[in-house]
Amino acid sequence: MLDVAVVGAGFAGLHLLHSLRALGFKVRVFETAADVGGVWTWNRYPGARCDVESLQYSYSFSKELEQEWVWTERYAAQPEILRYIRHVAERFDLRRDIRFNTTIDSARFDAEADAWTLGTTQGESVRARFCIMATGALSAARTPDIPGLADFAGQAHHTGQWPHEGVDFGGKRVAVIGTGSSGIQAIPVIAQQAAHLTVFQRTANFTIPAWNRPLTEAAQADWKAHYAEHRSRAREVGTLYDYTDRAAVQASDDERRHEYVTRWNKGGVNFVHAFNDLMVNKASNDTIADFVREQIRRTVHDPVTAEALSPRGHPLGTKRICVDSGYYATFNRPNVTLVDLRKMPIESITSSGIRTAAGEHALDAIVFATGYDALTGALARIDLQGLGGTRLRDRWAQGPRTYLGLMTAGFPNLFIITGPGSPSVLVNMIVGIEQHVEWISRCLCDLRAQGHTRIDAQVDAQDRWVAHVNAAAERTLFPLANSWFLGANVPGKPRVFMPYVAKIGTYRQECDAAADAGYVGFVRSALPD
């Protein structure tokens, strides 16, 4: 029997394997794909790129790794990130404890043995004392249920399940459905390849230019010389941005504009940290949203298209803020058309294209940039059964419930990495992953030292944590948007704000305090001799 079974060989799974193996645990990782990489194995769509600067989007557990790896761009593209992950697997000899081409489709807790039995799609079973779900917050790709999809005679691809061999759009009539992060990245690149590109947009999103550029040796050397300071700060705030302690409502119109122009010209998500009240004060948020809409009008030549691309109805930052390379300017190209689905909804997909109320668009290929069943989707696809055979998907039918974002009551010895109830997608994912790996590693060591074979979350502690997470979200503007943070992109999914909006440093203190106090909020026990 294994000590620990880990599901997923992305950033989280690799770090767990490296950490727990070094602590003497017998660990095995199970991965659907043929190699390591997680989301970066599947997200190979044109323009796929991280929106966290590459020098930050990296592991901190090895000082040698930090210094030896050389990033080429400010924002790394998918191929470079995948090379990095594969380098880590090779450098630390991780592949020997990973079962590739293996999909876990069930996991059942045996209360008499304090162990999990995991089943694979190949009919195999694996026993482990502890099970850790490193399945990813954004890994369960979702294609909308549009009538007639199966009838389409052309190519159809989802950005989150992109063919490894790539797709040639040369000379083709292409549609992209969706203008979230993946759509905003893919659209400018596909527009350069396709004979004609039609973008079907339901909701306009705020996106900030990346102004991506090569990383100079000098800039990289300077960052690496201060890596310890950078990492220490990131452990508190999540991602290293230029924060300000001043509120937008305290600044004059000229001062606000100067700040917005400066940050727009610098590029990246740092734009939303121009003032400290932008995510809690609607009037302040209106000033930065108006500035972005002004930039759209300056960039997009056709005023009707510019207005359609201008986000309305949700504050800036309450949906995932996007980072782009030439997105708005792409709509000035003669081979690009924008279809506003709020005015002309899709009625059906036909064998030859997409039909809206205004008529049919003839197409050779459709790209679904329609996102994921975020935070809970990958877990819901596994038949997870806890105490008494209770299924996790049933327990979470009214919304996910966790204690500290780490465990859910009634599912002993089951840990979740960057899931609901943790900062997760609201911070640099690598920083969030490392915090979880460190806490779980400590927890397993403490259980082993004290002779415990089981740990479970207490229901009352879980209830308090869920209420705390909800209350924290309600103090912000986040609930004003129908975002995937709330599950609003999945029909029938309960509207619950899933991430914890506190800074990672605050969250770390809360998790550590529970452990320091003897794992308050958890119940530990041992099998009888």
Q: What is the pLDDT of residues 398-434, one digit of tens each?
A: 999 999 999 999 999 999 999 999 999 999 999 999 9
Strands 365-368 and 173-177, sheet pairing: parallel
230-240 residue pLDDT tens: 999 999 988 87
Q: Are 272 and 288 in contact (CB under 8 A)?
A: yes
Q: Across the strands, what pairs with 31?
A: none
143-172 residue pLDDT tens: 999 999 999 999 999 999 999 999 999 999
Cβ neighbours of 313 (radius 10 Å): 10
pLDDT of residue 396: 96
Cα distance between the two ends of the chain: 18
Nearest C-alpha neighbor of 203 from the set 370, 48, 49: 370
* pLDDT over threshold 80, residue 241: no
pLDDT of residue 487: 87
pLDDT of residue 105: 97
Q: pLDDT grade, residue 243 (50/70/90)? A: confident
Three-point CA angle 515, 433, 277, nearest 5°: 90
The arithmetic mean of pLDDT across residues 464-473, rounded, is 96
Q: pLDDT grade, residue 529 (50/70/90)? A: confident
Cβ neighbours of 345 (radius 10 Å): 12
* pLDDT over threshold 90, residue 91: yes
Q: How far apart are CA 457 and CA 50, in angstroms?
A: 34
The arithmetic mean of pLDDT across residues 78-104, rounded, is 98
Q: Are 383 and 400 in contact (CB under 8 A)?
A: no
Q: How far apart are CA 454 and CA 386, in angstroms?
A: 13
* pLDDT over threshold 90, residue 488: no
